[in-house]
Amino acid sequence: MEAGAFEFLKQQDLPTGSLYMVATPIGNLGDITLRALHILNSVDGIACEDTRHSAALLQQFGIHKKCVALHEHNEIVGAQNIIQHLANNERWAYISDAGTPGVSDPGARLVSEVEKAGYRIIPIPGASAVAAAISASGAVMLSSDGQFQFLGFWPNKLKERDALLRNISESKKTSIFFESPHHIHETLALLANYLEPERKILLGRELTKKFEQIVSIQANQIMQWLENAESLKGEFVILVAGRQARADEAPEHAELLKWANALSPYLGSKEIAAVLSQTLGMSKKEAYQAALDIKNSGDTNN
């Protein structure tokens, strides 16, 4: 980067005594941000999930800083070391092996300890497998009006796995999780057996890398896809569309309030309850309670 080429990077203050949580590429080195490079060049030291892994990234961009290891096994102790540096009015950055620290990576305990010690945390955003997959998911995210729940890595323990399957199956939000190549076949087979046949799924493999693959299928197409898949190597991010409401299912309270709020300027509570009951097929008691809730909310706000 030529001196003076990106003067706008210098317009934002870089407070001392602060920890900078810096997102790094999830595969393609070209996804490093200019701001991330500026920060990594400006700090006094860099804490890394794996110093050997991060060395290749830092060397690629000519960044030569003091690096210390801070991973899930030494995060609390490592945090105290960072806090001492911040107490000396230094700037420090933290980077995980890929993506955003704290997102299924170490970093959350570090941030918690630094916050408790009274020092500032400054996030430096960048590449994210979750955001990348969402941007290419189309109908999967449309199924839940853009709402989603991020579940981290698929658990290996049977009890936790069964609970997660029930969660995904019943949630009306799109569910997003990570899976390794070692267990992807088993995990997808479980989804094929557990989900209703038409549930939409997006599979993202090796995102941003040379052999990136993005596949949109339904649950009843999973086994066929597995049989014909050219490769199951690499990290996976899975998106499972939210469950669609059944015809005989009572609407959620938030949905009732949305209806009642729209009708409130024009109708009284009894009239609103009648409309809700007839239109949504719910009991008159539930409908009247929803009408009262929205009316009371309006009175409170006035």
Q: What is the mean pLDDT of residues 137-159?
A: 92
pLDDT tens per residue across span 169-191: 989 899 999 999 999 999 999 99
pLDDT tens per residue across span 63-81: 999 999 999 999 999 999 9
Residue with tokens 């060397």: 59
The answer on pLDDT for 135 being more than 70 is: yes
Cα distances from 130 to residues 36, 126, 152, 231, 289, in angstroms, run 19, 11, 10, 21, 39
pLDDT tens per residue across span 196-231: 999 999 999 999 999 999 999 999 999 999 999 989
What burial class does residue 226 get, using C-beta atoms within 10 Å of its C-beta: 0-12 exposed, 13-18 middle, 19+ buried? middle
Alpha-carbon span 4 to 243, nearest angstrom: 52
Q: What is the mean pLDDT of residues 97-114?
A: 94
pLDDT tens per residue across span 246-300: 655 555 666 666 777 788 788 888 888 888 777 766 677 777 877 777 666 655 4
**Joined tokens for residue 21:** 């949580």
- Note the pLDDT of residue 289: 78
- Note the pLDDT of residue 247: 56
User: Residue 83 — pLDDT band, cuts 50, 70, 90?
Assistant: very high
- Note the pLDDT of residue 244: 81
- Note the pLDDT of residue 1: 47
**pTM for this entry:** 0.78
CB atoms within 10 A of CB 299: 8
What burial class does residue 236 get, using C-beta atoms within 10 Å of its C-beta: 0-12 exposed, 13-18 middle, 19+ buried? buried
**Strand segments (E) across the chain:** 18-22, 45-48, 66-69, 91-95, 120-124, 148-153, 174-179, 200-205, 213-218, 236-240
- Note the pLDDT of residue 249: 54
**Joined tokens for residue 238:** 């899975």
**Joined tokens for residue 279:** 């239109």
Q: Which residue has the higher pLDDT, 256 or 85?
A: 85
- Note the pLDDT of residue 302: 42
End-to-end Cα, the chain, rounded Å: 57
- Note the pLDDT of residue 301: 46
User: Residue 40 — pLDDT band, cuts 50, 70, 90?
Assistant: very high
pLDDT tens per residue across span 4-26: 557 888 888 899 999 999 999 99
User: Residue 143 — pLDDT band, cuts 50, 70, 90?
Assistant: confident
* Among the listed residues 131, 105, 97, the one whose alpha carbon sits nearest the alpha carbon of residue 204: 131
**Joined tokens for residue 168:** 């995904």
The four Cα atoms 74, 77, 79, 80 give a dihedral, to 10 degrees, of -170
